Amino acid sequence: MSASQPIPADRVFVLDFGAQYSQLIARKVREQGVYAEIVPGEISAEQLAQRGPRGIILSGGPASVYEDGAPDCDPGIFALGVPVLGICYGLHLMVSRLGGEVAGGQGREYGSADLSWNVASPLSAGLPSSMSCWMSHGDAAKRLPDGFLRLATTDNCAEAAIGDPARRFYAVQFHPEVTHTPQGSALLANFVHGVCGCGNDWNMGSFVTHAIDNIREQVGAGRVLCALSGGVDSAVLAALAHRAIGDQLTCVFVDHGLLRADEAEQVKAAFADSGLKLVAVDASERFLSKLAGVDDPERKRRIIGHEFIEVFTHTQRELGDFEFLAQGTIYPDVIESGGPKAAKIKSHHNVGGLPEKLGFKLVEPLRWLFKDEVRRVGEELGLPASMVWRQPFPGPGLAVRVVGEITPDRLEIVRLSDKILRDEIALAGLDRAIAQYFTVCAPVRSVGVMGDARSYLYPVIVRAVTTDDFMTARPARLPHEVMEKIATRVVNEVPGVNRCLYDLSSKPPATIEWE
Ligand code: XMP
């Protein structure tokens, strides 16, 4: 942060105990106009005090407080005189650290629950007395520490929200940071504004200034190669880096043979007049031959990550000396690839695939943002709406949608059906309403009848989800006529397909992509 843009005085620190949702907490706090930063859960009270917190949030996490090696916090943070909010595991930590007791197993709750507020406090100011909330826990508080009151309950959890208003300590068993707790943002706003007394001095404009300063500082006079996929993240990254360092930036667009129909041409056209230096590399043969015969999703992802780096290294040699590689890595890529404490869900190509001895220094200014925050940065930078509001497309491309081994015929099935789906969704005027939609080809075949003959062909699965943050998602409610038209066209127009299915799974427990 430069001297002209000091970190706002009102800052909240999220102590991370390995939750899938830690960054979501920080981002929901930032949405309230309050600067929030994630720090390791084991940070000492002294280090934290030096950073001047107005509030502290203890995140959730996959562990159980009494397990060996369970993440712990410095008990000194409860003596700083700063308000603390515990979330899920953070509640267990607060309860056990302050002299109460946590018990495992009895009150397991996963999914939506109805919660009632029983005792008024600043945490629930203005919230309805009954509301739904998202639960995901095995342990629960059994005995509260001295000074704590039970503030809210659900059918399965007597201590769904607790608090010690005198010390300004609060904790919730549910997850206020996920969209499935509709009043969650209001609760977090109550904590940061009502309990901690923070103002509203953080916004995307401050982020852009901050990020540009950081890029300039990191890169100095060095040259930067930027991996441009044409998706929102890398486009915003390129615009940000271009604004920061101008001609020191060269963008590389790699066609890995796993792009959607017409995509390579569209991306080249979109950046043709942008003033960015853009080099297009056709590496499709190389990627597809390395992927031949590989059916394990993680191996596929690692191969793609590795090949990307190889191509960049090669391009670097051809184009001259580049010290830095800019990547549009965003927070869900980082968290789902697993961290020191978070569980690994899948290796996003730009995280899990990186070899240890990478010849580049990485520039990743979007690493702490979510997709919708990246879009707001794009708007702040003046990028066209067609670019900012593009649906996301994963770096490994169609490789993660051809489930199992990638063969030319199944890749073509996904490419053709995806084009039909995109055309029909646009025709129905639904493209802005649905966050992401695509097709998948499963590695099974089923019997059908076409004309008078038996067929034994692949199914196409349509996946369409609504989500704000891509960390949780729900199946989109497509009108039946639209679904039927898509299914008819897919089965009639895509060779090798005799069935079309709709994926009705939420995330969690499913993920958005199939691999
Ligand atoms: P999942 O499947 O993890 O996807 O629920 C969440 C969002 O991330 C996208 N995704 C990726 N994006 N590299 C990317 O750039 C990847 O390796 C990757 N894997 C998933 C996915 O399309 C969805 O928008």
Tell me if 455 is assigned to some domain: yes
Q: Is 324's C-beta closer than 6 angstroms to any atom of ligand 1? A: no
Burial environment of residue 106 by CB neighbours within 10 A (0 to 12, 13 to 18, 19 or more): exposed
Is residue 498 a part of any domain in this protein? yes
- In the chain, how many H helices and how many E strands? 15, 21
Domain match, 254 and 305 both: yes
pLDDT at 344: 60
Q: For residue 115, what are the β-bridge partners?
A: 131, 154
- Mean pLDDT over the full length of the chain: 89
Rounded CA-CA distance 346/356 in Å is 18
Give the pLDDT of residue 106.
60
The confidence score (pLDDT) of residue 335 equals 62
Number of structural domains found in the chain = 3
Same domain, 33 and 181: yes
- pLDDT band at residue 107, thresholds of 50, 70 and 90? low
Task: Write down the pLDDT at residue 105.
Answer: 64
- Residue 434 tokens, joined: 């649905």
Whole-angstrom distance, CA of residue 295 vs CA of residue 407: 10
From the centroid of its chain, how far is CA 338? 12
Query: CATH code at 294?
Result: 3.40.50.620
163 shares its domain with 277: no
Is residue 467 in a domain? yes
Q: Sign (positive/negative) of CA torsion 85, 90, 92, 94?
A: negative
* Secondary structure element (H or E) that encloses residue 488, with its range: helix 480-493
> What's the rounded Cα separation, in Å, for the pair 371 and 392?
8
Same domain, 353 and 498: no
User: Do 320 and 247 lie in a common domain?
Assistant: yes
The answer to whether the pTM exceeds 0.75 is no
513 part of a folded domain: no
The answer, yes or no, to whether residue 351 has pLDDT greater than 70, is: no
Of 474, 497, 496, 475, nearest in space to 486 by CA? 497
Q: Among 330, 364, 388, identify where a domain stops.
A: 388
CA distance 27 to 38: 10
| Residue of 368, 461, 424 lying closest to 27 (CA atoms) | 368
Neighbours of 69 (CB within 10 A): 6
Nearest residue to 412 via CA among 400, 421, 402, 427: 402
Which atom number of ligand 1 is nearest to the Cα of residue 229?
15
> What pLDDT does 466 receive?
94
Please tell me whether residues 312 and 411 are part of one structural domain: no
Mean pLDDT calculated for residue range 156-178 = 95
The response to whether residue 352 sits with its C-beta less than 6 Å from ligand 1 reads no
Domain that holds residue 318: 204-388
Phi and psi at 244, nearest 5°, equal -75, -45
| Both tokens assigned to 308 | 């990307």
From the candidates 73, 88, 196, 251, which is the catalytic residue?
88
Alpha carbon 239 to its chain centroid, in Å, reads: 21
What would the two tokens of residue 397 be? 């491309």
Sheet arrangement for strand 35-40: 35-40, 11-16, 55-58, 84-87, 169-172, 157-164, 149-154, 109-117, 130-137
- Both 60 and 187 in a single domain? yes
Instruction: Tell me whether residue 223 is in a domain.
Output: yes
pLDDT at 6: 43
- If asked whether residues 217 and 355 sit together in one domain, one would say yes
Asked if pLDDT for residue 457 goes beyond 60, the answer is yes
Query: Could you identify the residue written with the tokens 């969209």?
Result: 179
Asked whether the predicted pLDDT for residue 122 surpasses 90, the reply is: yes
Of all residues in the chain, the percent with pLDDT exceeding 90 is 65
339 pLDDT above the threshold of 80: no
Q: Do residues 43 and 16 lie in contact, with contact meaning Cβ atoms separated by under 8 Å?
A: no
Q: Which residue has the tokens 């780096």?
A: 309
Please check whether residue 390 is in contact with residue 287, taking contact to mean a CB–CB distance below 8 angstroms: no
Task: Say how far residue 212 (Cα) sits from the centre of its chain.
Answer: 22
**Active site annotation includes 157:** no
Q: By the 8 A CB rule, do 373 and 332 touch?
A: no
Q: Which atom of ligand 1 sits closest to the CA of residue 346?
A: 3
Structure tokens of 90? 């953070």
> Which CATH number is 436's domain given?
3.30.300.10
Burial (0-12, 13-18, 19+ Cβ within 10 Å), 490:
buried
Find the mean pLDDT for residues 405-419.
98
DSSP designation for 473: B
Compute the distance between CA of residue 477 and CA of residue 353 in angstroms, rounded to an integer: 35
Predicted confidence band at 334 (pLDDT cuts at 50, 70, 90)?
A: low
Asked, for residue 366, whether it belongs to a domain, the answer is yes
Question: Which tens digit of pLDDT belongs to each residue from 169-228?
Answer: 999 999 999 988 999 999 999 999 999 999 998 888 888 988 999 999 999 999 999 988
Distances in Å between the Cα of 146 and the Cα atoms of 82, 99, 101, 157, 476 are 18, 7, 11, 19, 46
The pLDDT, as a whole number, for residue 499 is 98
Pocket test for ligand 1, best of 228, 345, 348 (most atoms within 8 A of CB): 348
Same-domain pairing of 219 and 263 = yes
Is the pLDDT at 512 greater than 90? The verdict is: yes
Single out the catalytic residue among 177, 307, 364, 373: 177
For residue range 481-506, list pLDDT tens digits in order: 999 999 999 999 999 999 999 999 99
Are 167 and 20 in the same domain? yes
Q: Of 89-93, 109-113, 410-414, where does mean pLDDT reach its minimum?
A: 109-113
- Strands 324-326, 278-282: pairing is unpaired
Check whether 514 has a pLDDT greater than 70: yes
| CA 354 – ligand 1 centroid, Å | 16
Q: Burial level of 104, CB count in 10 A (0-12/13-18/19+)?
A: middle
Our answer on whether the CB atom of 396 is closer than 6 Å to any ligand 1 atom is yes
